Structure 1
Amino acid sequence: MRVVYWIALGFLFLFQGCRTPFDPEIPARNNSLLVVEGYLDTEGKKSELKLSKTVSLGSETTFSPEVNASVQLVSSNGQTFGLEETAPGTYIFESDIEESNTYILEIILRNGDRFQSESLQPIITPEILDIGFQKDEEGVEVFISTKGDDNADDFLWTYEEAWIYRPRIRVPYIYDERIRDVRDRSDEEQIALCFKRERSPDILLETSSRFQEQVVFKKTITEIPTGNERIMERYSILVSQKAIEQDAVKFWEILKKNTEDIGSIFSPLPSLIGGNVYSVDDQSIPVIGQVSLGVVRERRIYINLTDVSPWGYLDPQFNNCIIEQEAVLKEFYDPIFTNPEVLPARPLIPPGGTVILGYFATDKRCADCTLYASRVKPDFWEDE
């Protein structure tokens, strides 16, 4: 047994000694490539084009926006349509253009470098046939159905989510130092109702010609596990359907592999991502980017907690959240409620009485949803 032990120990030291850090040498010229991505709607719907630069391995930042660029879409009949930068690296397109024309996207960076796209032919995206959801023991699946045609066979879907976010304990009161007393919160001071919003990180592709009569039936858009906070009360998802050309499919498939399939020694190595954007002055300069034009179809649905109950939502960050059993009497509001981390949660009213003698306290982290989400209600939000 001692021989086996020493042999095993020797192998352990051998394997540890053979492991060395991998520090790949990457040519400096490839450390900062232009990245262009966007799908521009041709019917005036607000759409985004994002410009950025790649960053070096080990960099502290993962996104380097390309700011102050001049970007315009040029029609085959000579018309130009400018894109406005509304956030660093984000350029907005809101023009209703003729789908029968072809277009070229022109980009001039702030250093004078010029780039442009290959000729772009807008695609008329078919309407969404249906969008819905179904619940099973694992959670909720959101799906979409559509039908392709001869001009629109390949589809790319993106989605944006929004949902109501509540704290564990709802506090309608606030301590007002001006009057040295507790009062009801105003609408502007409420902290019991917030909203969260997220954009999809997934790349969702499908080719309709793989199916009978080109009908894509109940394609999964996203899955929400049972108990997830997104359906703690009311959830909304906006799904965007975009028909894309075959070359764009190749780009998005490669990007999907590079972003989703890498993670183990058996995963594919990163593939070279090209696209349909190139340098005007030096075509040997690599560019990562894909720009498409077409009609974007959108559909929004809402899912309520009552639609999927029982749900079993429980947020572990609110563990140990309680309302104190001993009330804070009025003469002790200061200094207890002057501490911003302590909130008055429930009034103390003696049996049969009407006078409030004090308030039971709770921690702010248990009652203030603005610590975790936004109090601003989205413009599109519809209540039940």
Structure 2
Amino acid sequence: MIRSAVVVVCLFAAVYSCKDKYEAPVSSPKTGYLVVEGVINAGTGPTIIMLGRSVPLPERTQVKETGALVQVEGSNSSVVTLTEVSNGVYRHAQLTLANGVKYRLKIKTMTGNEYVSEFQDVKITPVIDSVSWTRDAKGVDIFIHAQDAQNKTRYYKWEFEETWQYHSRFSTFLRYKVTPIPNRPPLVELVVNDNGTTIDTIYKCWQGATSTEIEIGSTAKLSQDRVYLPIQHIEQASLKLSVLYSIYVNQTALSKRGYEFFERMKKNSESVGSVFDPQPSEIRGNIVCTNDPSEIVIGFVEVSSTVNKRVFIDNRNLPGWGYRQSCVEPITILNNPDSVLASYFQGQLPVGIVSTKPNGSIDYYAAAEGICVDCTLRGSNKKPPFWP
């Protein structure tokens, strides 16, 4: 996704708690500034460039730059064109970059404006040694470990994707069978799932999130090019670690200028919190508009390999984690057409049998609010391909 909102906060931030209106230090064009995010990936894996437009506060809608021509150019006159795979997202499955050649990004928008980043040497990112975690009373902290034995990298940037499995508060082997009736309320019947088994499709689900903060690190002032830094904190009793959690970390080597750019962004986004804090400064990266070099463009495109590592954290290794979905206890309902229909329209779902009649049919059953029974109301029941 385009995370231009982070950049926009840095440029236009006027935190809603402030009493005084914040006026941006530069006037924004009606179309907003072009926001460029991504890395020309010199390693294994796709190159993904995301284009958007900045928007002034209090607007929050992301504006994506569609229909652009996005290319990677080499100093040897080589050109590779990226494909727009979704609005504002441009991708190439695998670049093959030559040794000794410098590369840059070239963008031509539908309005005819052309933008280029600076030609850069290829940077090789060292591997991630490990991703570890520790736990205390406040929750779980996740750390990145990496090092460059040649002491050449010095500047790093990390992004991550989180995925977690969770379960509904109540499992069930009952369901409502709904039959539409023209011009009348539907017929809703209580039925037992095949073989009386738990309905896993509404009990086991997954959610996910991507990093939103700027995670960077530098070893420039250290004798060894070795990093050990926290990149994520998960609060005690969070849903994320209620069953099984995964974090997929991407690491990219930065140039010194690239690091300084993201450092300014990070400082601005974190410091603007009241009228007494420093206001956001104008942020320029390494991208210019060839039609109008004075135009502000937000972003810094590196030419660097990207490395990654995935780890899992199992709830069974977190005794006393304490997550519990807040749900009202199930209520007892008479199994007749009117009561079942009323329960259905109230958004409830059946969770168990309370009693049966002499002939074995269900007399009374228990039902709870749907969100506590059907996990798909909060996420997806599609198991990720990398999930164990």
Residue number in structure 1 paired with 2:270: 260
Residue number in structure 2 paired with 1:310: 320
Aligned residues: percent identity?
27
CA positional deviation for 1:330? 5.0
1:183 corresponds to which of 183, 189, 192: 192
Residue number in structure 2 paired with 1:77: 76
Mapped to 1, the partners of 2:240 and 2:64 lie a distance apart of 30
Residue number in structure 1 paired with 2:217: 206
Q: Identify which of structures 1 and 2 has the higher relative contact order when contacts are C-alpha pairs closer than 8 Å and 6+ apart.
A: 2
Q: Secondary structure at the match of 1:171?
A: coil
Residue number in structure 2 paired with 1:132: 132
Tell which deviates more after alignment, 338-347 or 327-336: 327-336
Mapped to 2, the partners of 1:41 and 1:116 lie a distance apart of 17
CA deviation map 1:118-168 (0-9, x unaligned) = 102221101111211111122111111111334311100111101012222
Tell which deviates more after alignment, 363-372 or 243-252: 363-372
CA positional deviation for 1:38? 0.9
Residue type at the aligned position of 2:169: R
- Matched length: 358
1:381 corresponds to which of 365, 383, 387: 387
Residue type at the aligned position of 2:329: I
CA deviation map 1:60-101 (0-9, x unaligned) = 334211111110101222222111112221112322322522
CA positional deviation for 1:290? 0.7
Q: Secondary structure at the match of 2:157?
A: strand
Tell which deviates more after alignment, 371-380 or 92-101: 92-101
Q: Secondary structure at the match of 2:43?
A: coil
Structure 1 residues 166 and 300: alpha-carbon distance in aligned structure 2, compared to 1, 3 A threshold:
same
TM-score relative to the length of structure 1: 0.85
Q: Secondary structure at the match of 1:283?
A: coil
Pairing 1:335–2:341 present: yes
Mapped to 2, the partners of 1:82 and 1:328 lie a distance apart of 64
Structure 1 residues 372 and 130: alpha-carbon distance in aligned structure 2, compared to 1, 3 A threshold:
same
CA positional deviation for 1:47? 3.7
Mapped to 2, the partners of 1:352 and 1:290 lie a distance apart of 74
In terms of Rg, which structure is larger? 1
Q: Is the 8 A contact 2:47 2:95 kept in 1?
A: no
Mapped to 1, the partners of 2:37 and 2:321 lie a distance apart of 38
**Which sections of structure 2, spanning at least 5 residues, go unmatched?**
1-17, 180-187
Mapped to 1, the partners of 2:19 and 2:343 lie a distance apart of 56
Residue type at the aligned position of 2:265: L
Mapped to 2, the partners of 1:20 and 1:145 lie a distance apart of 42
Structure 1 residues 27 and 140: alpha-carbon distance in aligned structure 2, compared to 1, 3 A threshold:
closer
Structure 1 residues 141 and 24: alpha-carbon distance in aligned structure 2, compared to 1, 3 A threshold:
closer
Q: Is the 8 A contact 1:40 1:48 kept in 2?
A: yes
Q: Is the 8 A contact 1:117 1:277 kept in 2?
A: yes
Give me the CA root mean square deviation: 2.7
Residue type at the aligned position of 2:285: G
Q: Is the 8 A contact 1:33 1:287 kept in 2?
A: yes
Mapped to 2, the partners of 1:28 and 1:144 lie a distance apart of 38
Mapped to 1, the partners of 2:151 and 2:30 lie a distance apart of 39
TM-score relative to the length of structure 2: 0.84
Aligned ranges 1:31-42 → 2 under 5 Å: 32-42=32-42
Q: Secondary structure at the match of 2:285?
A: coil
